[in-house]
Every structure is written in structure tokens, then in C-alpha cells.
Amino acid sequence: MAYIFGPVLSRRLGRSLGVDPVPLKTCNWNCVYCQLGRTRPLTNERRAYVPLPVILTELEVALAAYAPGELDWVTIVGSGEPTLHSEIGALIHAIKRLTTTPLAVITSGSLLYLPEVRADLLAADAVLPTLSAGSPEVYRAVHRPHPAATFARQVDGLIAFRAAYQGRLWVEVMLVRGLNDTEAALRDIAAVLHRIRPDAVHVTLPERPPAEPWVEPPDEAGLMRAVMILGTVARVVHPAQGDIDLRGCATPAEAILAVITRHPMREKELVRALAHWSPDQVRAALSELALQGAAQVVERYGARFWCAAGAYYASDATSVPTRRVSVHSQRFRGGPGDA
């Protein structure tokens, strides 16, 4: 399947069947920590990137393979930013007609300043946006956004959505050592969270291969500092450990591509996830995908991760170590009009 994947065992959503409505990598952010690599080029255009009937046909087939209660969530999570799909509202309503399984949307939240995007997401049972910065300078350093996606719009959109939304609003704070894990940066984030009033704050770490090789998670002291400053609704969420259900895939190669396009994985994780094929079959499929130019290996944190061939990861030679640059010097890197 091209647009439906999993279910995967999600750290926040249990057994989650993924719906991916945009091609790799359609996004208006170029986050330094992104597991899907750099965004080239940035786009802020909303349009129907994938026809809804194509997505829904695949989803009906996938849902038919599971008995009631086998899935915890259906999750719209793109190979980029899913709200860039201009028909995401219609997609949400169509999914709600197909299944009683709760529906979540994982989004940057960068387009929630638009009334039509807020209206699109109101029918979701849970919305999981991102707030990893409490100031324009840190926002630009972490997310490297499209010029139209400003910090002011990010905050205004989240506040406006919270005011109208009756579902569960779970905000993600992705921490990067040296960028947003300092006391000052965390207090800025906490001040914005106080204005948004989310139901929960999920503190996450860059544990899959980040776009930039210098990106590292905070140390233990940084994590403790984050939990203390961000408040009692904050908790650190680590990746879930468990198998990925790939029963809808006919071959190991198809299954591998379905996973690594959205979740880069170590080879041993892929062998375990694809246990209904032998390890030799999985490794042979990986070798063939690499020879065909359909998959690549990226080294991060001293480990080898299999990733989609279309994802671009900076090397040490092409990456600027942003975390070693002062926030003040980042002021002129972002788009105009940020406030």
C-alpha cells in the first residue's frame, strides 16, 4: 500500500494504523531533528497532493483485516506536514464514517493560524501539534521554517485552536541539546504552553536519525530540567518497543519501504518487525532495495539506519552545527516578519 502503513506500536497511541496523505517530503518546516531528513524544497502550498478516493480505497482494505478492538487509533501522519493536504477535513470525516476507531492527527500545527485548517481538524479525537520553541529565535533555529510559517502564527494558531477544540490536545516538545533545553528556553516554552492549555505535554527526544548529524538529545539533567519547568502535565515519551504489523504487504521489499518511508529503522529492528519472513529474506530485500536506489543507509549515533532513498540527510561536511551558534546569530536566518 502506498498511503496506509502499519499498524505500528506508537509511543503515544498504542497500535496505530497510519494514513499518509502527502508525498515525501512535503513540508513547510526543515527541522534539524527530522527523522525524514531535510526538506528540499520547503513548500507552504495547500493542495490535494493525493486523491482522497485512492487513500480511502487503501484504508478500507486495511481496516477489513482487523477485528473490532485490534486497533487503538487511526492516525493521519504525513511524510511531511499533513495539513498541507487541502482536503484533510474531508479525509477526517470520511475516516470517521469508515470506522469507530479513534482518529488522531499528528501535525506541526504551523497552519492552525488559518481558520479553515482549524475547522478541518475539529472532528479528530486527538490532535498532536508541536511546540518546541518559546521564542522566534529558537523557533527559527530548531524548525528552519518557510518564511510564511512564523513563530507568531504558530502560537496564535495553537491558542485559537484550543479555544474551539473539544478533543484531546497533546502538545509535543522535541528537545535538542544546546538549542531548546536550557533553562531560559524551557521557561519560554512553558510560558506559551500556559497560554495554550493543552491536555498533556509530551517531551520527546531525537532518537531516530536526525536531518543534521550534530543533533543530540539532552542529557539526564536537561530532561529533569524540562519536566520540572514544563509542569505537571509534561512527561517524557520514549519510542515504543514492539513489532510492526505488516500483514498487508506481499513481499519483504514492500514491507520495508512501507516502514522506512515514515520511520527509519535499524536493520535488527526491521528483521524483528518482519519476523514472518526469514532474516535472510529481509537482508536480501534490503540489499536489493539499496542496489535499486530505493533505500539508503544513514549513520547516526554510532548506528546504521535504513531510510527511504528520497530522504536527504546532511553529512558532517554539509551541515552547520547550529547548536554551537548563539541564538542571537540565528536571528537573521529565519523568514521575514517573525515576531
Residue 329 has pLDDT above 50, yes or no: no
| Residue 323: predicted pLDDT | 46
pLDDT band of residue 246 (cuts 50, 70, 90) is: low
Work out the percent of the chain whose per-residue pLDDT is above 70: 90
What is the average per-residue pLDDT within 257-274?
Answer: 88
What is the average per-residue pLDDT within 98-102?
Answer: 97
What is the average per-residue pLDDT within 248-254?
Answer: 85
Alpha-carbon span 319 to 36, nearest angstrom = 16
Enter the pTM of the model.
Answer: 0.90
CB atoms closer than 10 angstroms to residue 19: 27
Angle at 18 between CA 114 and CA 31, to 5 degrees: 55
- Give the phi and the psi of residue 148 in degrees, each rounded to 5: -80, -15
Q: For cell 506508537, name the residue.
A: 10
Most confident of 8-17, 139-148, 219-228, 316-325: 139-148
Domain 4-251 has CATH 3.40.50.720: no
Residue 258 has pLDDT above 60, yes or no: yes
Instruction: Give tens-digit pLDDT for 271-290.
Output: 888 888 999 999 999 999 99
Work out the percent of the chain whose per-residue pLDDT is above 90: 75
Helix H, strand E, coil C: the string for 22-63 is CCCCECCCCCCCCCCCECCCCCCCCECCCCHHHHHHHHHHHH
